[in-house]
Structure 1
Amino acid sequence: MKLSLFLVSTAGLWVAANANSVNNKQTKNDVCTHPFVDINGRCLFVNNFAQMDWDAARAFCAGFQGDLVTLDEANLLADIVDFIYKEGLTDRSYWIGGSAGAQTGAFVWPDGSLVRMGTPCWGVLDNIQRPGAEPNEKCIALNKDNFFFFDNFNCEGEISVICEYKFQRENRWAEGGCATMKSSAVFVFLAAALLGSDGATEAGSHVKTDVCTHPFVDINGRCLFVNNFAQMDWDAARDFCAGFQGDLVTLDEANLLADIVEFISKEGLTERSYWIGGSDRALEGEWTWTDGSSVRMGTPTWGANGQNQQPTGGSEENCVGLDNANFFFFNDFPCVTAMSLICELKL
């Protein structure tokens, strides 16, 4: 994000910015007025000065014609976490708009829509994925002690706040990530052989099509082949995918990770870890996809367990997989490990 920063004192200090989002989305009025900033096309106010309980946080946001943020896209979570780190706001946890409904106990956003559970938004602590079962922890925050993944807190706790300008919620729905996936998001087409595709491409690499031919399925608009039968090392996995006119998946969107993990769970394919197309073999510590583009680091794609965030394997672990031992977050593995794989259809 390109930031033009300024500080203003109005009953306290706030950081305000005119920030271009990563994917060049625009807000409805193209400008977020102080104290809001444009993050991923949404007008947000990341307030790390005041600390208050969850109900007070909602009232605080209402004073700015807003509400606690409906953080319903994993891509938005990635951009918020980037902003928090870049602005040096890492010393606080932050309330967001999710809470457990009084009647069902399910976590919902302020508009009543369901909060999507699991990877990649919810963190892992002590090898257990949040939310925890604590009866008094019914409000959601980004947990500073676990790399700003979602966590459930006691609603009376006093922490910082992320507000969203209210009109931004009108006529908008999430395509993936931290809200429930829309129906018809995954199509499985069975055919006798790979026949190809007649869809359009994005950036000359990802095949986007209305029909993905066997063995590929449509997940988040991408033709993917989740193969949990064969197990092989990373190089062999690339060769295997090449035999289907593909390569290991370039999993370059957190929303796509959410949909892949949901597909793996629904199809009962959770007993394996899966190779994807990232590695740092060319230069240690510089993680890239097979097309040479950079792998985005940190939350919400790379796994963490309270102490350290992946990758942690150093020069011995240079290839990226979805780790079934850690809820299918990214992890670095030795490239010679025999694992299952996810191919993506390429031109």
Structure 2
Amino acid sequence: MRQWLDELQSNITSECRRTRGQEELDSRRALECVRPFTVVHDRCIMVESKTTGNWGDMKKFCQQQGGKMVKVDTDNFMYHLVRFLHDNGLNVKNYWVGGSDEGSEGVFFWDDGTRVKMGTPFWGDGTGDQIQEPDGGATQNCIIMYKDDHYFFFDLPCHDSHGVICERM
């Protein structure tokens, strides 16, 4: 019985330390993530809905804010990001993100050179045609999170004008 109690106490102590460590990490991350950026699922992001521009201009905009265009590379982050947009009344625009297939038609890359994941759950299914994005060919090379399809990815012409989601590293 004594051994069982010692193990239980050890497990509780370990869990408390782990939880406290995570809280300290979250607290440090929150301190590093200053306005206009905010923490969304362990990332420091800024949603710019007032200023709009083409993909290149908005990439520069993010850099001027001390960040880069967001990399939406996990389904968990995408879920929390879309939820953040809805919860904060920001679900009124399309937003550029940091992926394109310029220079590699049909193969999308994030700004850091890693490949964009294709298919579900990231890409939308088109506007009524039931063909999953990307479907724009050589004229649509930049990725947006498309408000009319639950913020799934769409490829659009890079010269279109949209808001942007930036990420501070």
Scaled by the length of structure 1, the TM-score of the pair is 0.39
Deviations 1:125-177 (A, max 9, x none): xxxxxxxxxxxxxxxxxxxxxxxxxxxxxxxxxxxxxxxxxxxxxxxxxxxxx
| Residues paired across the two proteins, number | 141
State yes or no: 1:283 paired with 2:104. yes
- Identify which of 19, 22, 34 aligns with 1:213: 34
Q: Which has the higher helix share?
A: 2
State yes or no: 1:251 paired with 2:72. yes
User: Partner of 2:147 in structure 1?
Assistant: 324
Give 1:313 shift: 0.5
- Identify which of 136, 159, 165 aligns with 1:336: 159
Give 1:269 shift: 1.1
- Aligned-partner Cα distance in 2 for 1:214–1:314: 38
Structure 1, unaligned runs of 5 or more = 1-198, 201-207
- Identify which of 24, 43, 55 aligns with 1:234: 55
Cα RMSD for the two superposed structures: 1.6
Q: Letter of the 1:230 partner, please give it.
A: T
Residue identity (%): 35
- Aligned-partner Cα distance in 1 for 2:149–2:71: 20
Give 1:256 shift: 0.7
Give 1:233 shift: 0.4
SS of equivalent to 1:277: strand
State yes or no: 1:301 paired with 2:122. yes
Q: Letter of the 1:261 partner, please give it.
A: V
Q: Letter of the 1:297 partner, please give it.
A: M
The structure showing larger relative contact order (alpha-carbon pairs under 8 Å, at least 6 residues apart) is 2
- Aligned-partner Cα distance in 2 for 1:324–1:311: 16
Give 1:307 shift: 2.3
- Aligned-partner Cα distance in 1 for 2:150–2:159: 22
Q: Which has the higher strand share?
A: 1
- Aligned-partner Cα distance in 1 for 2:161–2:144: 11
Give 1:245 shift: 1.4
SS of equivalent to 1:263: helix
Give 1:304 shift: 1.3
- Aligned-partner Cα distance in 1 for 2:58–2:168: 14
* Deviating 4+ runs (over 3 angstroms): none
SS of equivalent to 1:283: coil
5 Å-filtered alignment, 1:90-169, equals: none
Structure 2, unaligned runs of 5 or more = 1-24
Scaled by the length of structure 2, the TM-score of the pair is 0.79
